[in-house]
Structure formats: structure tokens, C-alpha cells
Amino acid sequence: MKNHARSYWLLAAVVTVVLLAGQCGGGKKAAPVLHLFTWSDYIKPELVSRFEAQNRCRVVIDTFDSNEAMYAKLKAGATGYDVITPTSYMVSLMQAQGMLLPLDHAQLPNCRHIDPDYLAIAIDKKMAYSVPYMLTNSGIAYLISKVGNFEPTWGMFGRADLKGRMVMLNDMRETIGAALKFLGYSLNSTDPAELARARDVVLGWKANLAKFENEQYKNGIASGEFLLVHGYSGDILQVQAENKDIAFVMPREGGAISCDDLVIARSAGEATLAHAFINFLHNPAVAAENTGFTQFLCPNRDSYGLLEESIRGNPGIFLPREIKAKCEVLTDLGEKNALYVKVWDEIKNGV
């Protein structure tokens, strides 16, 4: 019987020790730790090591797969993350909910390098809560050898000769937004009359589309199944690396620019280190290196001159100034979002 009881105690001891070991997970308590919560492969690993060496700290990166999942998790009370990279529309929501720390610009001298052309169209123009990190444009990619008489306009989706070989994004804000831009309205319009006209335009395009789709279009244009697609610059750049016959442009009417921002969580334990990290990422040399790695554009004006020609000379990434001025950032529409849901349903169900 004595044997019996001792075994139980041994078991309990083993479990406790193992659980505690799991909890600490080999952490060295000496150096401060910065926790970054971001998309995967969204920062060049060598830059992380450099920051760690310069600041005598450790950077731990955790990843999320959608803004909504990240928001739900933090909203439910998860803490421990310092720097987060949500998309701009989500930043507005998080700020409204009091989840973000106001930025101290005295600790962010490198913010003067940020492109004022982008800030002019950004949501948080003063960078009170967020600093832009990476931009992606949604435009048109096409096969140069297969599409004759290409013109940089959203009207290309009306071309009947490309019927069945074109794809638009399965994203109501992006696709209705393209039609709004085509008509000369704002991407963030909440005027029912404008939205009704945009709906009719998209319905006209829909007759020529193979489908509305968000992921497979990359494979489709890489293999030549699709000739012309509506897509994100970051995705298309990856495809261009393999297939030189693909060009990417932003239509002359302008389109959507989306931006992931650097923000600091209100619950951050390492606010000073978090500021240092944001400041580090906007060092022009660092920003240029990071853009080369992620293939998204860090809107750091003084880094542009340091970029490789393949990025610098790509008109789909480096928008000409007059087109950039016509682009807009998708904003969070709150309750007005229902207007878009209704129009999108009509488009999906209509012929």
C-alpha cells in the first residue's frame, strides 16, 4: 500500500515539473523580450537578428492568418504582444476600442522618412496610433503576349474577346470598388445611387469573367489559363519572378491601396523596445532590405533610391504620382457595410 501512494506522488511531481518546464519553454530571463504578432514571412529574418544584437534583446514572432482572427483573440483579452501589424481598416477599429497605445514620436525619429504622398491618402495621417509598414496595390495583371491592345483601365473587364479568361477578386470591397473607380466615384462611397451604378457595371463585367476568386488566380495566370486578372501586387510579383510574360499595372482611374500598419498594443509590456523596433524598421537602409525580401513596398521615401531596379522600375508597385493621387485606402464603413453586402448579393445572384 505504501508503494501505491508513493507512485501517485511521483506521478504528480513528474506532471508538475513537465508542465512548468513547458511553461518556461527555455526562456532566458535576462534579456528583455519583444513580442511581435504579424503575418508569416513578413520581415526579413536577418533584420530581426540585427535588431536583437543592437538592442540586446530577443524578438519572438507569432503569426496570425486574418485580421479578424487576430482581433477576436485580442478582444477576448489575450495579452503579451507588443508590436502588431493589422491592416489599416482594422487599426481604426482597434483604436476605437482603446486597444492601442498612442505613439511617442520623440522615440520615432525615423518617421520623417515616411512617404508624404502615401500619408496624404492614409487613414491615420498624423501617425497618432499607427505607422505604415507595407503597402500592396490591387490592379490588373495580364499576359503580354496574349492580350492585344491592352489599355490600363478597369474597362478591360468589359472586353468580350477575353470572355471566360478573366478573373476578378472575390472580395466585395475590392471588386465593387474597382467599378466605383471606373465610374469616377470614391472607393469608400456609401451613396446608394453610386453603388447601384457600380453594381450594373460589375454585372456587365461578370458576363465576361470565368469567376470571382482570391487565391487560384495566381496559379491560373502563371499557367496561362487566365489572360487577365484583378489581383494584389505582392502576389503578382511572386508570379512575375517565374513568368516574365506577365505585366502588372494600376488602371488610370486609380484603385485600392491597402496598408498593414505597425501598432503597439495598449497592454504591451515592452513599450520602449516596441518604439525602438518601429523606428528600426523605418531606417531607410533597413526598409529597402525588407521591401526586397517581402516584395511588398515599405512606404519609406528615403529607401526608394536603395531599391533594386526590378522593384523600382515596376509601374504596378511604384505608382506614377498622378495615379497614386487617385488611389484610395479602403476604410472601415461600420454599419454602412451592409450597403455593400446587399449590392454584392445582387451581383452574385444576378446574370
Partner 1 sequence: MKRSRFPFIVTGAVLVFFYLPILILIVDSFNSSRFGGAWRGFSLKWYARLFHEPAIWEAARNTLLIALLVTFVSLVLGTASALALHRFFKSRLQRFHYTLVYTPLVVPEILMGISLLMAFVAAGVKLGMLTIILAHVTFCVSYVALIVLGRLQDFDFSIVEAARDLGASSWTAAWRVVLPMLAPGLAAAGLIAFTLSVDDFVITFFVAGPGATTLPIRVYSMIKHGATPLINALSTLLLALTFTTVLVSQRLSASGALKSRTME
Q: Which residues bind partner 1 (CB under 8 A)?
A: 1, 3-4, 7, 11, 15, 18-19, 22-23, 25, 27, 33, 35, 37, 39-42, 45, 60-66, 69, 72-73, 76-81, 218-220, 222-225, 234, 238-239, 241-242, 294
Distances from the Cα of 285 to the Cαs of 57, 90, 113, 273, 301, in angstroms?
21, 28, 11, 20, 11
Q: Which residue has the cell 483579452?
A: 77
Q: Are 42 and 86 in contact, with CB atoms under 8 Å apart?
A: no
Instruction: Choose between 189 and 294: whose C-beta lies nearer to partner 1.
Output: 294
The DSSP-derived string for 130-162 is: EEEEEEEEEEEEEETTT--S--SSGGGGG-GGG
CB of 76 to partner 1, least distance (A): 5
The DSSP-derived string for 56-93 is: T-EEEEEE-S-HHHHHHHHHTT-----EE--BHHHHHH
Q: Could you tell me which residues come within 8 angstroms of residue 348 by beta carbon, excluding any fewer than 6 positions away? A: 212
CB of 92 to partner 1, least distance (A): 21
CB of 232 to partner 1, least distance (A): 11
Instruction: Choose between 64 and 185: whose C-beta lies nearer to partner 1.
Output: 64
CB of 80 to partner 1, least distance (A): 4
CB of 23 to partner 1, least distance (A): 4
Q: Is 197 exposed, middle or buried (0-12, 13-18, 19+ CB in 10 A)?
A: middle
Q: Which residue has the cell 526590378?
A: 310
The candidate with the shortest Cα–Cα distance to 51, out of 245, 315, 273, is 273
Q: Could you tell me which residues come within 8 angstroms of residue 225 by beta carbon, excluding any fewer than 6 positions away? A: 165, 219
CB of 26 to partner 1, least distance (A): 10
Q: Could you tell me which residues come within 8 angstroms of residue 289 by beta carbon, excluding any fewer than 6 positions away? A: 44, 46, 47
Instruction: Choose between 25 and 305: whose C-beta lies nearer to partner 1.
Output: 25
Instruction: Choose between 161 and 225: whose C-beta lies nearer to partner 1.
Output: 225
CB of 24 to partner 1, least distance (A): 9
Instruction: Choose between 27 and 320: whose C-beta lies nearer to partner 1.
Output: 27
Q: How far apart are CA 168 and CA 206, in angstroms?
A: 9
Instruction: Choose between 226 and 340: whose C-beta lies nearer to partner 1.
Output: 226
Instruction: Choose between 68 and 345: whose C-beta lies nearer to partner 1.
Output: 68
